[in-house]
Amino acid sequence: MRVLLTGGAGFIGSHIADLLVERGHTPVLLDALLPQAHTEGKAPAWLDRHEVVHGDVRDAGLLDRLLPRVDTVCHQAAMVGHGVDPNDGPDFTQNNDVATSVLLAAMFRSGHRDLVMASSMVVYGEGRYSCPEHGIVPAPARTQADVDAGRYDLPCPHCGRDLGGELIPEDAPLEPRSTYAATKLAQEHLAVAWARATGGRVWAMRYHNVYGPRMPQNTPYAGVASIFRSSLERGEAPRVMEDGRQRRDFVHVGDVAAANLAALETPAEEGRCVPLNVCSGEARTIGDLATTLAAAMDGPAPQVVGGARPGDVRHVTADPARAAALLGYRARTRFADGIAAFATDPLRDAVG
């Protein structure tokens, strides 16, 4: 199987490329080498064995030349992360939504109907919550006043009691709370419309907190694991926001690559875009991450500093059942083992 892998030079894309080769497939990597993730616009050395096309997914002519050479498409290209401020909005929209619409149009022209697409847990906004008295309830948006006062847990909208976090399934309400999140949900909506119009088959892979080798570092677009490791390498304590008890699902990039391979080898239902949580099924706190990584690196203990970034949510932990049922996917890397390895994993060069 020949696979057009957009964003193939990226953190997750490069691992998918390696796994495709290991399983006897041939990836063709298309990457714009955005400066937010790539130093001086160069592909890293670990891609030397792959065919890398330096180009933009928004280049329709380029896609028209590449698509006839491949059997299917794995769309990982995106601008990710919290970003710096709302000035990033146009770049997020161009690189995520416009690029996806150009790709879908080119796939229609070429007759391709199967797509595996990177989405994100951020489409959920806050996770799933329950009240001891009222059961599952919608999570209210946190106010800045509550954050400033150190009130981080969410109150039940009916009785005001603190809500407990639950595993979130794919059919939960979607409520993006950042610019990046809004563009990821828009990508899913574009794929839904395309699948209905063409009979296409799409898997939307909702990644949870991915970590592992080749993460970008020292950039506002990096993940929290990379940010903590950069602090520890400088001899500084990781700075943990809120109270450190906010929960996430940390999933190793090797498991994410395996999920994508399973999706590429298993067609989705015709005419549908099917979302899947790509997660470990193992809920951990941000404080757990900082403490475990600091211990593995023999560094200073984390500092809990309070506050929250705009767009931060309290708890998002994932239900892995659908991916297990439809793809046979289960994460293999346990949190303690993965974080211990991450302490010395090779990362991308710092973005200057």
Which active-site residues does the annotation give? Answer: 180
Cα angle 142-156-209, degrees, rounded to a multiple of 5: 50
Q: How far apart are CA 323 and CA 137, in angstroms?
A: 25
In a 10 Å sphere around its CB, with 0-12 CB exposed, 13-18 middle and 19+ buried, how is residue 298 labelled? exposed
Alpha helices for the chain (secondary structure H): 11-22, 60-66, 89-92, 99-110, 144-148, 179-198, 224-233, 253-264, 286-296, 321-327, 335-342
Q: Whose structure tokens read 């509550």?
A: 146
Q: Which helix (H) or strand (E) is 161 found in, with range?
A: none
DSSP codes joined into one string, 75-135: E-----S--SSGGGHHHHIIIIIIHHHHHHHHHHHHT--EEEEEEEGGGGSS-EEEETTTE
Q: How far apart are CA 336 and CA 3, in angstroms?
A: 33
Q: How far apart are CA 102 and CA 344, in angstroms?
A: 39
In a 10 Å sphere around its CB, with 0-12 CB exposed, 13-18 middle and 19+ buried, how is residue 130 labelled? middle
Query: Helix or strand or coil: residue 139?
Result: coil
212 and 253 in contact (C-beta within 8 Å)? yes
20 and 261 in contact (C-beta within 8 Å)? yes
Distances (CA, A) of 79 to 119, 184, 266: 12, 10, 27
* Structure tokens given for 189: 């909506």
Query: At what angle are helices 335-342 and 286-296 packed, to 10 degrees?
Result: 50
Q: How many CB atoms lie within 10 A of CB 283?
A: 21
DSSP 8-state class, residue 218? S
